[in-house]
Structure 1
Amino acid sequence: MKLRKQAYYVLIGFFCFFIPHASGQNQKEADSLAQIYLKGNLEGEAKMALLRDLSFNQINDYQLSLKYAEELISLADSEKNFKYLAQGFLRKGNAHNKMGDLEKALEAFFKSAEIAKQEKFISGEGAAYLSIADVYATMNNPDNAITYYNKAIQLFRDTEFSIELASALLNQGDLYFNIEEYDLALENFQESGQIFREKNYLSGTAYNIGNVGMVYAEQGKDALAEQNINEAINMLEEMQDYSPISIFLTFMADIYVRKGNIKTALSYAKKSLVLATKYNLKKEISDANFKLSELYEKAGDKITAYKYYKDHIVYRDSVQNVAKVQQMANLRTDFEVSQKQTELNLKDAELNLSNQQKKNQRVVMIATAIALFLIGILAFGLFRRNKFIQRTKQIIEEEKNRSDNLLLNILPEETAQELKESGKVKAKKFESVTVLFTDFKGFTSYSNNLSPEVLVETIGFYFSKFDAIVEKYGLEKIKTIGDAYMCAGGLPFPTENHAENMVKAAMEIADFVAETKKNVKATEMNFDVRIGINTGPVVAGVVGAKKFAYDIWGDTVNIASRMESNSEPGKINISENTYELIKDQFDCEYRGELEVKNKGMMKMYFVNGIKA
């Protein structure tokens, strides 16, 4: 069995976004800053900056790091300084992650991302996405991790944040390393390493060198691996950053195992355990114990191997309790532990039986029979118990995933998260939202002649494509009523280009319906579509206590509906409000002022296409 490779994704991701001239986390720097903190002379932003840097550099006492982060959050909240508030939640998540509380870490990181996005604080938003990706990587969820790594990388590529980009590339490379995509890992390390060296960023350079060494170790290039890892360890010792040193030492043990030098391999693994124990690095303690268990088993000392394996299980379970195991894949279960214990006990019993038979066979046989009987009862009981636990966990996880997926099908992700956390969703007002309505011409009269099956199939054919187009442009589907389709842009998070995206989506919808009409094989029934769009303020929220529905209200919605009813087949009819926002990007045709039910005369425009 291989040692779990990832152990320090988060060492890079959290610290390089707000200290451009720093060389990385540094415990000596934390001790120096603590002296300034104790004097109590600073206030306002100066004190917030101090608390941020204290929490960041405190790498040997994560409870103290969490204390500084909480104080920063409280101060930033009281002074309505949202950039520092986002940084405070980022530091809080970092501390929880280091202490193994991944659930609280994710909660803090998502809060940081939300605040940063609302404030258009790009570096803070990217830092939060990177931290979220690191936690998902630790939880062995590579799909979610890659999604958030790419979000962070895209943000940083579009800005001047080169150190932040290098950090995201390094951590994504570490993920590729853990899923054994070594070529992709080296690509990321090469790009990130070049940036770190150009910026003289010592921590990033050290991690990058060590990571490249670990790739070489997995590829069997032991000489290169040993050279890189030793260089990284020397740099990290200067910075008193011990967590990655512990991990690199276990890889040095692997190198000497391949050389056939078990004694030196044991020496490196024991150094890793001593270092991790000294600084209470629980994940690293668990991994070091596991490595020692492997090495002693290779050396033929199964008793000592089992001792270290039990210590590995104790520290592993102290980091990941039973509830969190449901969220983390590919972890060993208690059943494996019971199997290991039973196997070793049986071997011990057989050995004792063989030795004692020479002295007193009758006594030994009775004692051994009793021991084997009790072990058999214990093993059988543990086997049944763990099979039951395993089945129960699987059922709970499947039901949880199913309910989460169903909730996300009817609510935006952020709204669904708020509903799960508090049991309710507060209504929110959005000052600028673009609303779209579509309707098929003549559908109602024609549908009277269709069977229910064909009717549902036809609606499903069109609306499935509408859903894909809406998702493509980052819009939110609100609901369908019969053959009418409604969506909105600019919520649940406010955006600047929602009107432009909505018009582009409307053009794709109109083109799709027109093309479908030409292709008689696509469906048994083809239509023309009318589209109407309006922009303005709305109120959004969740209605219902059991069957939840996300909906929006306001005059903006009513006018959008009137735009659709006053449109023409195949046309996109927009209000004056929307026209003012998109007139520079799109070719629009003024229709004049038309009578609108309950609204009087309103200016309307047809969208003819994108300007050259």
Structure 2
Amino acid sequence: MNEFSIPENENMRLEALLSYDVLDTAPEVSFDEITELAAEILQCPVSFIEFMDADRQWFKSKYGLPEDYIETPRDLSICNTVICQGDLLCVPDLTDDERFRNNPMVQSAPNIRFYAGAPLITPNGQAIGTICTVDFEKRELSINRREALRKLSKQVMTQLELRRTLIDVNRLIHEQKKLSLSINKEKEKADNLLSRILPPEVSRELQENDRVEPKYIDECSILFTDFVGFTKLTETLAPKTLIDLLHQVFCQFDKICKKYSVDKIKTIGDSYMCASGITKNKKDHTIRLCMAASEMVDYLKKANAQRAKLKMPTWEMRLGIHTGPIICGVVGDDKFTFDIWGDTVNTAALMEQNSIPGRVNISESTYLRVKSEYKFEERGEIVTTKKGPLKMFFIVASESS
């Protein structure tokens, strides 16, 4: 490659050129119309808009040139002189100008003779390209046509600035869409997390109103589970093993609750608490909770059978259910929780405490609501300080089985 002149501000000029993001882009009508207009006004067979890169001139628009004529080396470019001087250049006869007479494009095909080019100057004064016309015969250019070429160069820069503005706007729109998508994804994650912490209806109310109105539920059913001898297990099992097993069991209980539209309330240590009839499907809440309890027992029996084969300690679980009124709501700002209160909760806990491993122990109020659905084993009464004697029943099997 032959040596060529470069302007003193070459690095700044190249940075300005790159900022327009125009190199190696597709043809655009707005530039092609100006190129065609230049050829018409100057009465030349060829015109083009080119941008001067570090070592090439690249044609953004061209009139009278082959489609595959995309770029030429910078050292062959007459336009480079325009870039360096930063002003319009008009050469009536290139063969009579010592600067250009030895240029291969002048000496041989396409044998250009006439050249006129005006620089494309950015608002910061950087010449990043040119709009040019050439002819294959020598000619003179009138003052009016020179001025027209200068005006066309300004029109090119106006289009270029508009193009950059549109690119920036589209980029901002794209970034806004990405940000909006990211926010929606994060909101979806937050909503999913919230729905895993709270019952769905409670979660929706909290999202819509920023608070949950406390409610009195005149009737629902509460279930407690508890593992017998769990404290001893904590002394014999490695912490990770213990938590992993507890996690596995409680995850299965979660699935069972979802299956029967039962709301998980919370876990307290090794105790699992859930309720039916608080948020939906209140008519058959008791039977659904009893079905969930029976499935929990069946699941643990199968798990214990497998553990026994492997000579691993089994997990023995008591279950208790009671039906009655409660109050429910969300409490706290940090680490808030949905909870339920009332004597029904305490009685359900008593049913669990007075059960035996592998059995579902229910109160009389629960029994009265499902007595036609199951066979039962009457257990007699327990005496409580505040409520007096309470009848208890074991669920034996459903009538259908």
TM-score where L is the length of structure 1 = 0.42
Q: Establish whether residue 359 from structure 1 lines up as the match of residue 359 from structure 2.
A: no
Secondary structure of 1:389's match? helix
Alpha carbons of structure 1 residues 494 and 428: separation in structure 2 relative to 1, 3 Å = farther
Runs of 4+ in 1 over 6 A off after TM superposition: none
2:67 counterpart residue number? none
Tell me which of 571, 577, 581 is aligned to 2:359. Answer: 571
Match of 2:138 in 1: none
Q: Which residue of 2 aligns with 1:512?
A: 299
Tell me what 1:588 maps to: 376
1:453 corresponds to 2:247: no
Maintained 8 Å contact 1:349/1:371: no
Per-residue deviation, 1:432: 0.9
Give the aligned partner of residue 95 of structure 2. Answer: none
Give the corresponding residue for 2:392: 604
2:214 maps to which residue? 427
1:378 aligns with 2:60: no
1:542/1:524 CA distance change after superposition, 3 Å = farther
Is this contact kept in 2: 1:538–1:555, CA < 8 A? yes
Please state which structure has a larger fraction of its residues in helix.
1
1:107-138, Cα deviation, whole Å (9 max, x unpaired): xxxxxxxxxxxxxxxxxxxxxxxxxxxxxxxx
Letter in 2 for 1:432: E
Look up the equivalent residue of 2:175 and give its one-letter code: F
Q: Is the 8 A contact 1:353 1:368 kept in 2?
A: no
Cα offset for 1:491?
A: 1.3
Q: SS in structure 2 opposite 1:395? A: helix
Q: How does 1:106-125 map to 2 (within 5 A)?
A: none
Deviation at 1:374, TM superposition (A): 1.4
Which of 524, 533, 557 lines up with 2:321 in the alignment? 533
Give CA-to-partner distance per residue, 1:211-240, whole Å, 9 cap, x none: xxxxxxxxxxxxxxxxxxxxxxxxxxxxxx
Match of 2:28, SS? helix
Letter in 1 for 2:234: S
TM-superposed CA distance for 1:606, in Å, is: 0.5
- Residue 345 of structure 1 deviates from its aligned partner by 9.9
Tell me by how many angstroms 1:411 deviates: 1.1
Inter-partner Cα distance in structure 2 for 1:601 and 1:499: 22
Using a 3 Å threshold, how does the CA distance of structure 1 residues 598 and 447 change in structure 2: closer, same or farther? farther
Provide the C-alpha distance between the structure 1 equivalents of 2:315 and 2:386, rounded to a whole number of angstroms: 29
Shift of 1:357: 1.4
1:83-232 correspondence runs (5 A) = none
Give the superposition deviation at 1:595. 2.9
Which structure has the greater CA radius of gyration?
2
Deviation per residue, 1:21-57 (Å, 9 max, x gap)? xxxxxxxxxxxxxxxxxxxxxxxxxxxxxxxxxxxxx
**Residue in 1 aligned with 2:50?**
none
**Does the residue aligned with 1:590 lie in a helix, a strand or coil?**
strand
For the structure 1 residues 353 and 525, does the alpha-carbon distance in structure 2 shift closer, same or farther, using more than 3 Å as the test?
A: farther
1:187 is aligned to none
Asked if the contact 1:458–1:525 (Cα under 8 Å) also holds between the matched residues in 2, the reply is no
Q: CA separation in 1, counterparts of 2:249 and 2:310?
A: 10
**Partner residue of 1:466 out of 250, 253, 258:** 253
Q: Kindly report which structure 2 residues correspond to 1:207-606, keeping only aligned pairs within 5 A, or say none.
A: 346-360=28-42, 361=133, 363=148, 365-493=152-280, 495-520=282-307, 525-596=313-384, 598-606=386-394
Equivalent position SS for 2:236: coil
Q: Indicate the SS of the match to 2:39.
A: helix
Deviation at 1:394, TM superposition (A): 2.8
CA 572–596 in structure 1, closer or farther in 2 if over 3 Å, else same:
farther
Residue identity in the other structure for 2:231: T
**Cα distance in 2 between the residues matched to 1:353 and 1:523:** 88
1:11 matched to which residue of 2?
none
> Structure 1 residues 607 and 448, CA, compared in 2 at 3 Å: closer, same or farther?
same
Counterpart-to-counterpart distance in 1, 2:153 and 2:291: 84
Counterpart Cα distance in 2 of 1:568 and 1:405: 37
Residue 598 of structure 1, CA deviation: 4.7
Deviation at 1:352, TM superposition (A): 3.9
Distance 1:350 1:408, change over 3 A: same
Report if the CA contact (8 A) 2:30-2:159 is conserved: no
Q: Specify the code of the residue in structure 2 equivalent to 1:351.
A: E
SS in 2 for 1:603: strand
> Would you say the 8 A contact 2:378–2:392 is kept in 1?
yes
What letter matches 2:371 in structure 1? Answer: K
Offset of residue 355 of structure 1: 4.2
Could you say which structure has the higher strand fraction? Answer: 2
CA distance in 2, matches of 1:443, 1:584: 35
Secondary structure of the 1:519 match is helix
Q: Within 1, Cα distance between the matches of 2:366 and 2:238?
A: 39
Equivalent residues of 1:434, 1:578 under 8 A apart: yes
Separation (CA, whole Å) in 2 of partners of 1:347 and 1:523: 81
* Alignment RMSD (CA, Å): 2.4
What amino acid is aligned across from residue 258 of structure 2 in structure 1?
A: E
